[in-house]
Structure 1
Amino acid sequence: MLSFFRINDPFRIIGIILLFSVLSLPYLLMDIPLLTPELSWMLVGERLSSGYFLYLDVVDDIGPLSAYIYWLIDLAVGRSWWTYKVLAALIILFQVTYINRLFIAYKAYDDYTYLPAMVMIILFHFSFDLLTLSPALMGTTFIILALGQLFSQTLINKENTESVLLVGIFGGIAACFHFPLIVFLPFMIVAGISVSGFTFSQLVLSLVGYFQPLILCCIYFFWIGGLQEFITEFVLATRITASYPHVTYLDLAALIAAPILFSVIGYLIGTVTTNITVNQQKQKQLMILFSIFALLSIFIANRRTPYQMVVILPGLTYFIAQIFIYLINKRQLNILLYSFLILVPAVGYSWAIYKIQPEKSWNYTLKKPTPAEGKKILVLGDEISAYQNTQIASPFLNYRLSKRVLTNFSSHEKMIEVYLDFQKERPEVIYDQEGTFKELTKHIPALADLYRETSDGVFKLTKK
């Protein structure tokens, strides 16, 4: 296996595709249910394709560029789980190929090889949700493109104004896909100054490039009258709402433990067994800084999920690949290779099997939908399974973000806005999981005239 991927031959990408297919097959056979975030993204795309505006008519903290990708998907194929998986697979193969070519182009290792691609493909299988079309995956694509431009700056006596500008632009686009990737901004500043040797003018140019996509988004939402909502829901959402703890930190640690262990081994092997050039030293420093800042993005995300860790994979790949490139002892090499090949995906498979058991309640994989009591409904709570066969008839998609508006009883202006939202779309059924709507009817009597509680936490529209 190692001998196959050691050769610098573009046709080795066929082997990468086959490896990806083989490792992905067990997840497909497990028949993993739809994820809560996946349904949420589908609902965003559905709302936008119905003519509603993001943040104004869809209360959610999703990145604007991600939202409009889901909008295009909904326009083309509607709610298609397979489309999400196929597009994600194409993006993953692009990322893997780009990273591998990047390491070859800038001589990150002494050998020109496809081993980094092999390593990265295996890493993509330490959790099943890394293989879906998440905002983190789409945003990380542009982080990788920005990383490529930073690599070009590690070359001695090479100044490229275009690369400096592109570093910023790609970083800004990534943040517009997924806000936690804003951590790339301090990374860009620190790495640009300490590793790439940015001059003051280059630093300013990269910052100008970085803020261009964000400013364009601000202009667009100002134009449609939603600038305040854009700032509140997208930019400030990570500070004003509690996160969705879909998994525990122990789950995340269990999944990432083996990749981190192998990356530490790779770092030690690369440090001890080889002498590196000045350019390679800069690249090593760059990847260390990148890995540190990438980890920080996990802790500022509003959804605690394994797919948030996709941004860490390029850094892990860089260090783990050094095991298979620099280690000479064949016996040790084979032990580490098969340990890595088997252990990393096996942990992911085992974790998935454990978590999808029917008795496990963790609000990440959705329950089977109950028979719909209406075509257009509203769920006020974290369990959104009821949306699987219905449409959302309200802006209040992200409950934890919406709650600050729905429970702001002291503001008459907000209560009027809430009433008008319900009056405009009139959801046929409201599933009030935390008693929010029941409390709301006490402050807005007109809502109590529209809805009747038919069972515990279920309100039905009485006046069409």
Structure 2
Amino acid sequence: MISYFRSILPSRLVLLVLLFLAIRLPLVLLGIPATVSELLYMLVGERMGDGFAMYREIYDSTAPLSAFFYWTIDVVAGRSYLTYRLTATFLLLLQAILFNVTLNRHQVYAGKGYIPALLYLLLGSITFEFDMLTPLLIGNTFLIMSLPYIITISREGLDNNRLFVGGFMVGLAALSYLPLALFLLVAAFAVVLFASGTFRSLLLMLCGFAFPYAVLMTYYLYSNSIAYFLEMHLLQPWHFQVSTLLPAADLAKVMLLPGLILLLSLISTTSLPQRLVFQSRFQQLMTVWLMVSVALVFTRQEISAGTFLVTLPPIAYFSEFLFTSRQKKWILNLYFLLVLSGVIVLRYRYALGIDTLVQVDDSQLLLPRQQQSDLAGTSVLVLGSDYSYYEQNKLATPYLNWELSQRHCGRLDEYQAVYELYQNFRKESPAYIVDKTGLMPQLKHKLPSVFGAYEPTNAAAVYKKSR
């Protein structure tokens, strides 16, 4: 069965795509419950679509290129979970095919086939978190697009300008999700392995990486937003800590299958026959890719299964050695069937009615349903991190990310912060304010001309503008 994909005939690619869509689309079309992350991205895109500038008029740390994606989707389809998930499906399929084509074109293995793409797509469907159009998914697309440029310079002699393009792609990946800038280490290691003029090649790669940042910062400079961009995105502190959105045991359940495939694949590499120098160096590069991917997982404040998306390329690469090893065919087919059945069980545990047997507590990822039915189709500001009130309403004022909103709301004893808060509310005032932090009494005292117009409603912590 798995041997069918050891060929590059077009029929193999067609079956691969059909298998992926058969696994992926039913759950997407049936509908996954709304998630907090997706609603946040939709609010960013919606507010940009209403003409508000990112960072200056939208306080959020979403990377600029990802925000552009969300703005584009809002212009085309508005708030649409289906559009977001279909776009994510397309990007994952594109990543797998581009990655596999790169491996085949550069003869990374002894033979050519679609096994890496097969494992990429299967493991990329193991959880609904990979169905979300996250900045990490967008940025990972650019990382894979950079790969053929950073590994071909030594094979093309003096055509080192390709490395500039490779660095440029890594720069676009970082503009989609800032921690992906760590993959400069992978690109630098590729320079050491493949480049003939290491120092010149390294400079070309760094210039390519810096170029999109230079263009973007020039735009923000002329639009008077450079300080906001630096504060809310570029200079945000990185967090190397473990705070899981899924319970540790449940996260282990989801990642057990990819971890086992990776472990067995790494063991298979120890028995490889002698190979070409390029193939050995590429294996070293993917080992570094894997280590950087694991390090990147811990740069997030909150870790869930979706953060391991960046490990899919090295797992898919090493899986080729497992499924083309000298083990008996029935054993390799058994491995494949276990992977396929494991993905289906985890992905469709609710639809199959086995969620009591395979329990994964993903409640922190899902959007809680707010109970205030009168808050629908209006403008709302939530003083806190409860995004559920925005599900049927529009955000008013820039205060989306509550942590970043502390530049004003957390400094009410400073004149400048209170003045800027007043300026933002003078431009637009929400019909309702939901006070989840108990700030309204202090705000009424500091700015009675603004917050004095809001009166308590029957719902706890909800204030309605009365005049």
* TM-score, L = length of structure 1: 0.91
- Structure 2 counterpart of 1:443: 446
For 2:138, the equivalent position in structure 1 comes to: 138
Kindly report which structure 2 residues correspond to 1:257-336, keeping only aligned pairs within 5 A, or say none: 257-336=256-335
Equivalent residue runs for 1:11-50 within 5 Å = 11-25=11-25, 27-28=27-28, 31-50=31-50
Match of 2:427 in 1: 424
Displacement after TM superposition at 1:65 (Å):
0.9
Query: What amino acid is the match of 1:452?
Result: E
Does the C-alpha gap of structure 1 residues 41 and 303 become closer, same or farther in structure 2, counting only changes over 3 Å?
farther
Q: 1:103 to 1:190 in 2, by over 3 A?
A: closer
The CA distance in 2 between the partners of 1:441 and 1:385, in whole Å, is: 25
Stretch moving more, 376-385 or 135-144: 376-385
Q: How does 1:20-419 map to 2 (within 5 A)?
A: 20-25=20-25, 27-28=27-28, 31-153=31-153, 155=155, 158-194=157-193, 196=195, 199-239=198-238, 246-350=245-349, 362-370=363-371, 371-373=373-375, 375-419=378-422
The answer to whether the 8 A contact 1:369-1:389 is kept is no
- 1:198 Cα offset (Å): 5.4
Identity score, percent:
28
Distance 1:25 1:444, change over 3 A: same
User: 1:13: how far off?
Assistant: 2.1
| 8 Å Cα contact 2:250-2:361 kept in structure 1 | no
Q: 1:427: Cα distance to partner? A: 0.5
Q: Distance in 1 between matches of 2:426 and 2:248?
A: 41
In structure 1, give the amino acid aligned to 2:76: A
State the distance in 2 between where 1:299 and 1:198 align: 34
Contact 1:269 1:327 in 2 (8 A): no
Distance change >3 Å, CA 198–CA 367, structure 1 → 2: farther
Kindly provide the amino acid, as one letter, of the partner of residue 259 in structure 1.
P
Q: Which runs of 5+ in 2 are unaligned?
A: none
Measure, in 2, the Cα distance between the counterparts of 1:243 and 1:418. Answer: 34
Per the alignment, in what secondary structure is the counterpart of residue 326 of structure 1?
coil
What is the one-letter code of the residue matched to 2:466?
Answer: T
- Counterparts of 1:376 and 1:78, CA distance in 2: 16
Q: Residues 174-209 of structure 1: CA distance to partner in whole angstroms, max 9, x if unpaired?
A: 111111211112332234225656511110111011
Which stretch has the larger CA shift, 446-455 or 426-435?
A: 446-455
Question: How far apart in 2 are the matches of 1:25 and 1:33?
Answer: 15
Distance 1:14 1:206 in 2: 36
Structure-2 change in CA distance of 1:379 and 1:90 (3 Å): same
- When structure 1 is superposed on structure 2, of 189-198 and 288-297 the one drifting more is 189-198
Which residues of structure 1 form unaligned runs of 5+?
Answer: none
Deviates more, 1:333-342 or 1:219-228: 333-342
Q: Distance in 1 between matches of 2:336 and 2:41?
A: 37
Kindly indicate whether the alpha-carbon contact (under 8 Å) linking 1:168 and 1:206 is maintained by their aligned counterparts in 2: yes
Q: The residue matched to 2:455 in structure 1 has which SS?
A: strand
What letter is aligned with 2:234?
V
Contact 1:19 1:121 in 2 (8 A): no
Q: Distance in 1 between matches of 2:240 and 2:119?
A: 36
C-alpha separation between the residues in 2 aligned to 1:41 and 1:299?
22
| Conserved 8 A contact 2:151-2:194 | no
Identify the structure with the greater helix proportion: 1
Q: CA deviation at 1:361?
A: 8.0
Deviates more, 1:8-17 or 1:95-104: 8-17
1:58-91 deviation line (CA, Å, top 9, x unaligned) = 1111111111111111111211122112222221
Q: 1:452 is paired with a residue of what secondary structure? A: strand
Look up the equivalent residue of 2:420 and give its one-letter code.
E
Amino acid of the residue matched to residue 465 of structure 2?
L
Structure 1 stretch displaced more, 123-132 or 145-154? 145-154
Once the two structures are TM-superposed, the CA of residue 367 in structure 1 deviates from its matched residue by 2.6
Q: Which amino acid aligns with 2:464?
A: K
What are the superposed Cα offsets for residues 373-414 of structure 1, whole Å, 9 maximum, x if unpaired? 360001222221121111111111112221343111232111
Whole-Å separation in 1 of the counterparts to 2:190 and 2:439:
47
Distance 2:199 2:335 in 1: 45
For residue 415 of structure 1, report the CA deviation from its aligned partner.
1.1
Describe the superposition over 1:116-149 as per-residue Cα deviations: whole angstroms up to 9, x where unpaired. Answer: 1111110111221212222111110110111222
Cα 1:431–1:242 change in 2 (3 A) is farther
Q: Matched residue of 2:463: which SS? A: strand
How many angstroms does 1:348 deviate by? 4.3
What is the number of equivalent residue pairs in this alignment? 460
Look up the SS of the partner of 2:324 in the other structure: helix
* Counterpart amino acid of residue 402 in structure 1: S
110 and 83 in structure 1: CA distance in 2 versus 1, 3 angstrom threshold: same
Question: Do the aligned residues in 2 keep the contact of 1:139 with 1:177 (CA within 8 Å)?
Answer: yes
State the alpha-carbon separation in 2 of the partners of residues 167 and 429 from structure 1: 48
What is the rounded CA distance, in whole Å, between the counterparts of 1:221 and 1:437 in structure 2? 33
Give the Cα–Cα distance (whole angstroms) in 2 for the partners of residues 200 and 272 of structure 1: 35
- For 1:241 and 1:395, the matched residues in 2 are separated by 28
Decide whether the 8 Å contact of 1:269 with 1:323 is kept in 2.
yes
| Change in 2 beyond 3 A, CA 1:380/1:247 | farther
Aligned to 2:463: 459
Native 8 Å contact 2:239 2:301 kept in 1: no
Q: Distance in 2 between matches of 1:82 and 1:282?
A: 41
CA distance in 2 between counterparts of 1:10 and 1:45 reads 38
- Separation in structure 2 between the aligned mates of residue 436 and residue 193 of structure 1, nearest angstrom: 55
Structure 2: distance between partners of 1:285 and 1:205: 22
The AA in structure 2 aligned to 1:336 is Y
- The 8 Å contact of residues 252 and 306 in structure 1, kept in 2 or not, is answered as yes
Check 1:204–1:250 CA distance in 2 against 1; reply closer, same or farther (3 A cut): farther
Q: What is the Cα deviation at residue 18 of structure 1?
A: 1.2
- Distance in 1 (alpha carbons) for counterparts of 2:79 and 2:111: 45
Distance 2:454 2:201 in 1: 60
SS of the residue corresponding to residue 460 of structure 1 reads strand
Structure 1 residue 163, shift from structure 2 partner: 1.9
Deviations 1:225-268 (A, max 9, x none): 11011011111234499999543455444322321221121122
